[in-house]
Amino acid sequence: MNAGVKAAIRQRATELGFDRCRFTTAAPPDSSGQFREWLAAGSHGEMAYLARQADKRTNLELVLPGVRSVICLAVSYYLDSTAGGAPTPPTSGIRPPASDLWSPASGQTARYARFVDYHGVLSEPLGALTASVNQLGGVGTRSLGYIDSGPILERDLAQRAGVGFVGKHTNLISRAGGNWLFLAEILTTLELEPDGPEKNRCGSCVRCLEACPTRAITAPFQLDARRCISYLTIELKGPIPLELRPVIGNRIFGCDDCLAVCPWNRFAREGRLMKPHAQADLGRPALLGLLALDESGFKERFAGTPILRAKRRGLLRNVCVALGNVADVSALPALERAACEPESLIAAHARWACGQVAARVSQCS
């Protein structure tokens, strides 16, 4: 019966559009101790919720009493021709790269943000699959579904379930899907035979370490989030450290450099769930147009997208940094207006950007 239930769950997951469906136990991942050491070192930065929920993340019984199994799911957000144009080129130092892919007029967003918010897209099929699990399990079965939001060490559970392996950049890599994956989980009191884990397949490759602009990957399998551009442009709520601003380049929401260079991406395939929700205009938005957005304009422009999470103050802070790095003198009037913004975070970064542009102009004259 157990094998039949697993097969039925996997079949239902496929019908609902999930690209991978694997099973593991609810036991704490072997990496639980490393996770606590990472927190103790402060490498999580201002993401205090990670520390607050540490006990739950390392003991799923505190999340769902009686939990026996975890159903690990993955959805590909790879596109054959990625919405929004080419990604920011990788760098090997802490200076912005010189490349014809760079434009003073446009910013760069992470690939996952070039879609309707995946939480909304995945919530309906995940809810349907969770209901199916309860139905297949029978009376008394209880299950909880999460999409990148629950107190779960989802990456490590996904590796143990065989969805993929954790790469040297600390992200999950699938042999069938590359790096471009959204993860979801269902915790259930139903006891299901676990699938085998995936072993690490990075070999001697260190492309991701070499590509990281800020050296946030301090060693293989070790990330200092406080230096990561995704953290700096999304999670960090205050000023971006001065020494890291130049290397951010024109990235305004996230960074894909360590993901984009992974050789396993050559096996990536498009998924059915996310492709219809691609938003091409989110890939390389005009920086000066973003800088002109008021609060209502920001909410209207980014409603239903991951970028809304940054809030106006965060996104425009990032836009100012990007303009400071890549803009020419034509951006100075807009930056000078932004320097008088009532929102002090935006104003401070606009003043910094004005200084950067002015210095660049004087060097060229």
For 122, other C-beta atoms within 10 Å of its C-beta total 23
Q: How far is Cα 311 from Cα 344, in angstroms, rounded to an integer?
A: 14
Question: In one letter, which amino acid is 345?
Answer: L
Q: How far is Cα 197 from Cα 187, in angstroms, rounded to an integer?
A: 18
Count of positions (residues) in the chain:
365
Convert 57-80 to b/e letters by CB count within 10 Å (16 or more is b). bbebeebbeebbbbbbbbbbbbbe
Question: In one letter, which amino acid is 356?
Answer: Q
3-state secondary structure of 218: strand
Residue 184: strand pairing partners:
73
Q: For residues 320 and 346, is the Cβ–Cβ distance under 8 A? A: yes
Q: How far is Cα 264 from Cα 202, in angstroms, rounded to an integer?
A: 9
Residue 19 annotated to the active site: no
Q: How far is Cα 315 from Cα 180, in angstroms, rounded to an integer?
A: 23
Q: For residues 90 and 35, is the Cβ–Cβ distance under 8 A? A: no
Q: How far is Cα 66 from Cα 58, in angstroms, rounded to an integer?
A: 15
Active-site annotation holder among 80, 100, 117, 148: 148
Helices first, then strands: H and E counts in the chain: 15, 10
In angstroms, how far is CA 334 from the centroid of its own chain? Answer: 30
Residues marked as catalytic: 148
